[in-house]
Structure 1
Amino acid sequence: MSYANISYRFRCAVFLFFACCGLQIKASPSINAERIDKYLSENIHRGVSASILVTQGNTTLINKGYGLAEREAKVANSPLTVFDISSLTKQFTAAAILKLVEEEKLKLTDTLDAYFLKLPNDKKHITIHQLLTHTAGFKEYPGRDFDYVSRDSYFETVFSSELEFKPGERYKYSNVGYSILSAIIEQVAQTDYETFLNQVFFKPLEMKHTGYLLPDWNTLTLAHGYYEDFYDRGTSIERYKENGVSRILVGNGGLQSTLSDLHKWLVALDNFDILSEKSVRLLTARHVETPAQVDAFQSSTYYGYGWKVGTSTYSDRVIAHNGNNGTFRSSIIWRPEEEIFIVFLSNTESKGTLWLAYEIDKMLAEDGYKPKPVELNPYRVIDEYVTKTKTVSGVQLLNHYQLTTGNKTISSAVINRLSRIYFYVNKHTDWALELLKLNVKLFPDDGNLWDSLGEGYVEVGQIELAISSFKKSLKLAPDENCHWCKNAQERISNLTKN
């Protein structure tokens, strides 16, 4: 019998018994939920930007938004906000495969040569099971999520590339494997991937705000994604409307959804409403061992079909998955024995919020657990200062950074990447060059940084200083594996010709 079904009178009697005996009572989930809400609210200024749902049994403990879905217009995140759920998409692909298995339209032992013609010999006997468990051996496709790639071009590249290892030999997370699965779904179901999901899952469960382009999206509810917690990359939907959903993404990522829709989905799985008990058991079985996620408090993990399954320091069975596309982050944690669901959907890329869902879970499980404040994102700290400060001074910026974060210096990679973004979007170009100057001041013996400074001088038309910087980078080059030397040499040659 679940906790939610135990009568109120019985629970009161149990409470009074232990209270009278003077035994310690674990704080109620609602009390821990108050602590969690307070922690999240207090860390909004440190980078928490998400919508979060926490339920136990039939009780909703948290269902609210934190931070902003769209910063310029100051639109707050809420339970209705639509997020890109990234790799949480994989569980729907796996479930769709199992639905077709239930309908006896395919088998998990089917091999690729049953669905694709003219395959190389090393790929003919890869099974659907191996694709589902990331053990097929495919290399990742050399492209980005929103690059337009036709179906034929995508699969021609995928199937002509060498495998990384013999199929079934080991586990390696593979987006390509799930894209192949989506194509198998389309072939067997005789419709496109999104339409099939909509027909068999989303419509029956009234998940009206889940999909790529089929839902009637309200643009006011779509979250903007903020790269490194500062750079607005807009919504995924506006990119889909421009070029369609890239084959790179179909089946492995990019679905949009909300807290409510994902909760409906989880409840349906838990109750075997949308898939049979056998299929749900297969979905969440421990098929292959994976590296443990220590930062997520998991001591051992396995991959099921579209889900990771393992144990934690406080639960014998944790079913979970994460998503991250470089801008949006997402996590689902499902603890069946404790009847707990946690859905975390965030519209910012930040190291400080990487494992935030697991921090929430631990706070829910352990009364005394006190997580550290969310780690400030260095990009956002710098960009906020740059945006509001007219005086362009690397020294003053460094002083501000040290006072704000407590760190003595800034990562050279952060400075380099931020300056490239500023040049790319033609924003704060004076600061972009100043950041590159600061980088060589902080790390004068790094030739790569001098090469980057040379590129910065080229951007602003200071050719003599550019040539000087490129020459300096070559003087600092290592004897072997100089990844910037070719660029510096070519730049010097081209610039001196002119």
Structure 2
Amino acid sequence: MHLRLLLLLALPLCARAEDDMVVDGDLGKSLDAAVQADPAKPFWGAVLVAKDGKILLAKGYGEADYKKAPITPRTLFEIASTSKMFTAIAILKLEMQGKLATSDAITKFFKGVPDDKKAITVRQLLNHTSGMSGEAILGYHARETADEFVALAMKQPLASKIGSKFEYCNPGYALLGVIIEKASGKKFEEYLRENLFKPAGMKDTGFCQDKSLDAARATVRRDSRQGNKEVGTAIEWGWSWGYRGMGGIVTTVYDLMRFDRAMRGDAILDAASKTKHRTAAMDNYGCGCLVGTSAGGQATLSHAGSVAGYLCDFTRFPDDDAVVIVLSNDAGDPFGVQRRLAATIFKPPTATLAIDVKGRQLDQYGSLWFPPDAPWKAAKTAAGASLSLGAKDGASPLTAAFSAESAAAFLKQLQAQIDAHTKAGAQEDDSLRAGVFTGDLTLKDGGAELKDAEITIKPCYDARDAAGKRWFDARMTLTFVDPASGQQAFMAYLGLTSARQLAAALKAALGK
């Protein structure tokens, strides 16, 4: 099974040299344009986007070093805290092998644990719920031995009660690095190479100070936060105890794609371990990954990384067979690039929209108000479904006609936002305010029709003025965009009750 998987992993790449960029078809061109969408902030780094096992975009942007060598998909980057995903998966692999349990207390691995830390478990280190401080331990990067680092970490006071809250803790992951050595009987680097990198086919992946890596392909850290001053290459960063486990993996976008493919099979983890990996504890953090939902409603498993001169984002879409990888040596904004790429892959649903403002008065914000007694209604149509928001005073309702596919996609996106807001403890709110944004469009009495208007939904900004009064009393936004002009045509702010009404009506129309 593992051999067959490795052969499959190689298939998407064997038709071309990896130095060659890949811009596959119209979607690849759209993704390339999304990377470079902000001319005022040119992106430096490497990007890879794949869907259904096919590479859509693999390309380098900007310069790898001060000799102006171009960045390619094979350029080496340090991935900083994204390394935590690998540390966590190594722990889960050891649990699969029967060498530890995530429920084990850390006293199983360390002698002389002080009383206040004896109840900490491996799982709590993985989830950042150990109670240990997220603040850096003074001098912990410089510890030459594991024992020195552990002794220093154990002296630090707890920041909170064990298991009571999420507090991102770099030293906790460094402790996990030591646990990997103690449980496996191997060096940290050796265990990850044999059990993660090799099964995934990650031939260009190593660690800081790794002599086996090709130094000529390592990027220089171009830290724009320090006047673009040179701060070393991907391989030159220190690799003492206190950093390994929490950071320090050096890799390429191609190898991270290989890792994503391996995690979709059984080359590294079995199904139960993968479920544990993506099960969140507090603040949506699982075992080495942030468990989330994209703006389009897709499930995501991700981890970002930041260290002087490098920023990166590795986002996997486990239920949609997609991955977006953004590695930067510019300390710029890879996260904005990632969001644009994800939005390009998962395009929002389309609809035909008619808006009628007849008989309505706009308030000072240019908005129409729809009270709870003007709820969303839905009906099944030959094409799929239609939605309408009832209106009073002789005004026509707001209507949107969906294909069945678009309606299902929109419902999935809406339900994801309802679930996220409910989990976050958002207050119930029946009101719905609709703001009219004309842009290049003209909204006339009697209605204006927009063909194939894009519809997206996302959380809205819950602002408050100096007196503490909210600017508006809603929890999410529903936006309609005219694809011809790219202008927002209509925006509605929904409270939870209104959003639930909308979802229930649409489910009924679709027979769900």
TM-score normalised according to structure 1 size: 0.61
User: Are the aligned partners of 1:84 and 1:254 in contact in 2 as well (CA < 8 Å)?
Assistant: yes
Q: Is the 8 A contact 2:35 2:340 kept in 1?
A: no
Measure, in 1, the Cα distance between the counterparts of 2:40 and 2:72: 17
1:56 counterpart residue number: 51
Correspondence 1:289 to 2:271: no
Contact 2:204 2:251 in 1 (8 A): yes
- What SS is found at the alignment partner of 1:342? strand
Deviations, residues 206-265 of structure 1 (Å, cap 9, x unaligned): 31211214562212210111112612112131244xxxx121211011110011111111
User: Could you tell me which residue of structure 2 aligns to residue 226 of structure 1?
Assistant: 222
Rounded Cα–Cα distance in structure 1 between residues aligned with 2:50 and 2:130 = 36
Instruction: Work out whether residues 304 and 311 of structure 2, in 8 Å CA contact, stay in contact via their aligned partners in 1.
Output: yes
Question: In the alignment, which of 214, 217, 220 is matched to residue 213 of structure 2?
Answer: 217
Residue 182 of structure 2 aligns with which residue? 187
CA distance in 1 between partners of 2:257 and 2:236 (Å): 25
Evaluate the alpha carbon distance shift between residue 203 and residue 338 of structure 1 in structure 2; reply closer, same or farther with a 3 A threshold: closer
Question: 1:58/1:236 Cα in 2 relative to 1: closer, same or farther (>3 Å)?
Answer: closer
Give the structure 1 partner of residue 481 of structure 2.
Answer: none
Residue 238 (structure 2) pairs with residue 250 (structure 1): no
Give me the whole-angstrom Cα distance separating, in 1, the residues matched to 2:119 and 2:285.
21
Is 1:309 the counterpart of 2:291? The answer is yes
Any unmatched runs of 5+ in structure 2? 1-23, 351-512
Residue 260 of structure 2: aligned partner: 266
SS state at 1:237 partner? coil
Picking from 155, 160, 165, the partner of 2:160 is 165
Match of 1:35 among 30, 52, 57: 30
In structure 1, the residue corresponding to 2:199 is in which secondary structure?
Answer: coil
Q: State the Cα distance separating 1:96 from its structure 2 match.
A: 0.9
Deviation at 1:275, TM superposition (A): 1.1
Change (3 A) 1:208 1:215: farther
1:23-422 to structure 2, matched below 5 A, reads 30-41=25-36, 43=38, 46-70=41-65, 72-139=66-133, 140-143=135-138, 147=142, 149-212=144-207, 213-214=209-210, 216-228=212-224, 230-240=228-238, 245-286=239-280, 288-290=281-283, 302-350=284-332, 352-366=333-347
TM superposition shift of 1:44: 6.7
**1:33 and 1:364 in contact (8 A); partners too:** no
Please tell me whether the aligned partners of residues 315 and 335 of structure 1 are also in contact (alpha carbons under 8 angstroms).
Answer: no
With 358-367 and 172-181 compared, the bigger mean Cα shift is at 358-367
Aligned residue number for residue 428 of structure 1: none
Letter in 2 for 1:117: K
In 2, Cα distance between equivalents of 1:267 and 1:143: 38
Tell me how far apart the structure 2 counterparts of residues 329 and 201 of structure 1 sit (CA, whole Å). 23
Whether the aligned pair in 1 keeps the contact of 2:298 and 2:320 (CA below 8 Å) is: no
What secondary structure, in the 3-state scheme, does the structure 1 residue paired with 2:232 have?
A: coil
Q: Is the 8 A contact 1:333 1:341 kept in 2?
A: yes
Distance 2:86 2:186 in 1: 16
CA distance in 1, matches of 2:144, 2:160: 25
**Aligned partner of residue 361 in structure 1, secondary structure:** helix
SS class of match (2:158): coil
Q: Is the 8 A contact 1:208 1:215 kept in 2?
A: no
Instruction: Name the CA distance, whole Å, in 2 between partners of 1:239 and 1:62.
Output: 29
Q: How does 1:4-15 map to 2 (within 5 A)?
A: none
Is the 8 Å Cα contact of residues 209 and 215 (structure 1) preserved in structure 2?
no
Q: What pairs with 1:403-482 in structure 2 (closer than 5 Å)?
A: none
CA separation of 1:205 and 1:354: change in aligned 2, threshold 3 A: closer
1:385-437, Cα deviation, whole Å (9 max, x unpaired): xxxxxxxxxxxxxxxxxxxxxxxxxxxxxxxxxxxxxxxxxxxxxxxxxxxxx
Deviations 1:76-117 (A, max 9, x none): 111100000111111111111111111111111100111111
CA deviations 1:319-359 (Å, max 9, x no partner) are 11111113211111111222111111111112x44432122
Letter in 2 for 1:249: Y
Q: CA deviation at 1:366?
A: 2.7
1:32 deviation in Å? 3.8
SS in 1 for 2:175: helix
Structure-2-length-normalised TM-score: 0.60
Partner Cα distance (2:150, 2:304) in 1: 26
Deviation at 1:43, TM superposition (A): 4.6
Mapped contact 1:146–1:239 kept (Cα < 8 A): no
Q: Counterpart of 2:206 in 1: which secondary structure?
A: coil
| Corresponding residue SS for 2:319 | helix
Question: CA 1:156–1:144 in structure 2 vs 1: closer, same or farther (change >3 Å)?
Answer: closer
Amino acid at match of 2:229: Y
C-alpha deviation, 1:365, in angstroms: 2.0
> Per the alignment, in what secondary structure is the counterpart of residue 281 of structure 1?
helix
Amino acid at match of 2:282: E
**Any idea what the Cα deviations from partners look like across 1:164-219, whole Å, max 9, x if unmatched?**
01110011111111111111110111121111101112223331211214562212
Quick one: distance in 1 between partners of 2:166 and 2:237?
Answer: 32
Q: Give the AA of the match of 1:228.
A: S
- What letter matches 2:234 in structure 1? S
Query: Structure 1 vs Structure 2: percent identity of aligned residues?
Result: 28
Q: 1:42 to 1:310 in 2, by over 3 A?
A: closer
- The alpha carbon displacement at 1:150 in A equals 3.7
Shift of 1:41: 4.0
SS at match of 2:282: strand
The CA distance in 2 between the partners of 1:92 and 1:285, in whole Å, is 16
**Of Structure 1 and Structure 2, which has the larger fraction of its residues in helix?**
1
How far residue 303 of structure 1 moved from its aligned partner, in angstroms, is: 1.0
SS of equivalent residue, structure 1 residue 75: coil
Alignment gaps of 5+ in structure 1: 1-28, 291-301, 370-498
Q: What letter matches 2:47 in structure 1? A: I
C-alpha distance in structure 2 between counterparts of 1:208 and 1:74, whole Å: 26
Measured against aligned partners, the alpha-carbon deviations of 1:107-133 in whole angstroms (never above 9, x if no partner) come to 111001111111110111100110000
Secondary structure (helix, strand or coil) at the match of 1:318 reads: strand
Structure 2 CA distance for partners of 1:231 and 1:145, relative to 1, 3 Å: farther
| Alpha-carbon shift at residue 308 of structure 1 (Å) | 0.7
Larger proportion of strand: 2
Aligned residues: 323
